Chain A
Amino acid sequence: MAVLVLADQGATVSQPTRSAVAAARQIDAEVHVLVLGDAAAAAAAAKLDGVAKVIQADGAAFAQALAEPAAALLVALAPGYTHLLAPGSAQGKNILPRAAALLDVQIITDVAGVVDADTFKRFIYAGNALATVKSSDPKKVATIRAASFDPVAAEGGSAAVEAAPAAADPGLSSFVGAEIAKSERPELTAARVVISGGRAMGSAENFAILDKVADKLGAAIGASRAAVDAGYAPNDHQVGQTGKIVAPELYIAVGISGAIQHLAGMKDSKVIVAINKDEEAPIFQVADYGLVGDLFKLIPELEAELG
């Protein structure tokens, strides 16, 4: 049998999808990818390193990756697989638990380690503890914490593409619209450098002082919950337990105190820099390099120093 990975929707294969494929490869040599999209998206997935087959579902029911038809499709494909996986993206989190329940399986979300085909590691309590759990379900359904798995290469494979079985849309929900911010910056969960601002940024206008530093570093921009709640940054910038989990080469936390819920989303970063005026701020306990001072003085200096 094989492992099936539901890819994030999009013209290119997302880095979290490639991490989910990497996790799948640790379970079984035979990995298939399910793409909800057109031929170009399927072709991109077929190039993934280590993927044996791509299943393409491009019916109207799947155009927006709505959970109800997508979960039904996974259930239809399930008999051929021991494991159904997806990256722990908004899409994966939405669809996979639904598919698991339809299969009478307890899902394992945000897998951070594969011990064997039945046994997985995952964080609980905002990353304060790491649990090892063994599933007794005949089939496993899981989402993958991308930050814990090095993505497979985007090129190198040449999988066959096959059409998914026709599936009816249960018609329970419909897509109305989306507001997706266009950005030239890298994806938060795929960026090599992330610079995040917290409550201390004080306003949306002030928050923008991070832009120039981000430009110089080719960085993605993130935020604490406090900054998002206050409207300084959009919701999809939130890093943390209940936002996005990032693990870049370099993470720069600006005016962020370092609450456990924030740390849960960034403490796997390779190098952490903290800029905070309070030398007792908990963020310094995880920072490789700490700079104590007023961000409104230090950020322009940093921008200048980066040349």
Chain B
Amino acid sequence: MKLLVPVKRVVDYNVKVRVKADGTGVETANVKMSMNPFDEIAVEEAVRLKEKGGATEIVAVSIGPAQAQEQLRTALAMGADRAILVEAEGTEPLGVAKLLKALVEREQPGLVIMGKQAIDDDMNATGQMLAALLGWAQGTFASKLEIAGETAKVTREIDGGLETVSLKLPAIVTTDLRLNEPRYASLPNIMKARKKPLETLKPADLGVDVAPRLTVLKVEDPPKRQAGVKVASVAELVSKLRNEAKVI
């Protein structure tokens, strides 16, 4: 079974992003970029499946600027076999899902493993949208994945606890934080990854219209919270909560 793993280039989670003074977006110039953490988990899961003999080939794909090659190389260093970059910027989840659908039709994977959420737009939508466009089953927020024949058993992190669903393959699985702990690529594997194939395409090559549907009118700082006071003791804390804040 072939696996397709979409990975997004995002501002690293350690960066404290700043809103641009003109309110058009956030500063991304000279900011550290990384693979979306949930997508690292997706790549790791794919590599483990292949190591266990449950997969034959892993194709990592990204939709983004030319520099997203860096994140694809990381995926290759972690164990993906080849990569495809669709050069397009500012694509919304629906547009990404349409591009991914075209790639799925070309590559015919048995399973797509992707992140539940990109930590820049915080949309948590692309996997569900791709599943819809393909008419496939979806197993979102996965904390466990088992493949058995023609089905995938997915344990999902839901509001009250965990839920297990069985999906008919081919299907879409989106990763949650507890699915696995991604490996670091070793130096030899990073060297090897440089020689793995990386193909570059444009949305037009796939015949997909990715015109955005949302216009960003404004990006602003969130409401700011004032730091309060330090209290000296538990007694003072409880007294303030009772008499000043009146919350207990």
- Chain A residues with a Cβ under 8 A of chain B: 8, 64, 66-68, 71, 89-91, 93-102, 104-110, 119, 122-137, 170-181, 189, 193, 217, 225, 228-229, 234-236, 238, 241-242, 244, 249-250, 260-261, 267, 270-273, 279, 284-292, 298, 301-302, 305-306
Residues on the A chain within 8 Å of B156, using CB: 90
Task: Report if B52 contacts A (CB, 8 A).
Answer: no
Q: With CB as the reference atom, state the residue of chain A lying closest to B95.
A: A106
Q: With CB as the reference atom, state the residue of chain A lying closest to B153.
A: A176
Residues on the B chain within 8 Å of A134, using CB: 214-215, 217
- Chain B residues with a Cβ under 8 A of chain A: 11, 13, 16-19, 26, 38, 92-94, 97, 116-117, 119-133, 135-141, 143, 153, 156-168, 171, 176-178, 212-223, 225, 227-231, 233-235, 237-238, 240-241, 245, 247-248
> Are A126 and B230 in contact (CB-based, < 8 A)?
no
Residues on the A chain within 8 Å of B97, using CB: 101
Residues on the B chain within 8 Å of A67, using CB: 128, 131, 138, 140
Residues on the B chain within 8 Å of A171, using CB: 168
> Are A124 and B165 in contact (CB-based, < 8 A)?
no
Interface centre among B143, B158, B162, B219 (most CB of A within 10 A): B158
Q: With CB as the reference atom, state the residue of chain A lying closest to B131.
A: A98
Which 5 pairs, one residue from A and one from B, show the smallest C-beta to C-beta distance? A288-B228, A172-B137, A101-B129, A97-B128, A101-B132
A289–B238 Cα gap in the complex (Å)? 10
Residues on the A chain within 8 Å of B129, using CB: 97-98, 100-101, 107
Q: With CB as the reference atom, state the residue of chain B lying closest to A301.
A: B234
Among B123, B127, B162, B163, which residue has its beta carbon within 8 angstroms of that of A175? B163
Residues on the A chain within 8 Å of B238, using CB: 302, 305-306
Q: With CB as the reference atom, state the residue of chain B lying closest to A249.
A: B247
A174–B235 Cα gap in the complex (Å)? 53
Among B132, B216, B220, B223, which residue has its beta carbon within 8 angstroms of that of A102? B132
> Are A90 and B94 in contact (CB-based, < 8 A)?
no
A193–B133 Cα gap in the complex (Å)? 42
9 pairs, A vs B, C-beta closer than 8 Å: A67-B138, A97-B128, A105-B213, A107-B93, A128-B16, A128-B17, A136-B214, A193-B248, A289-B240
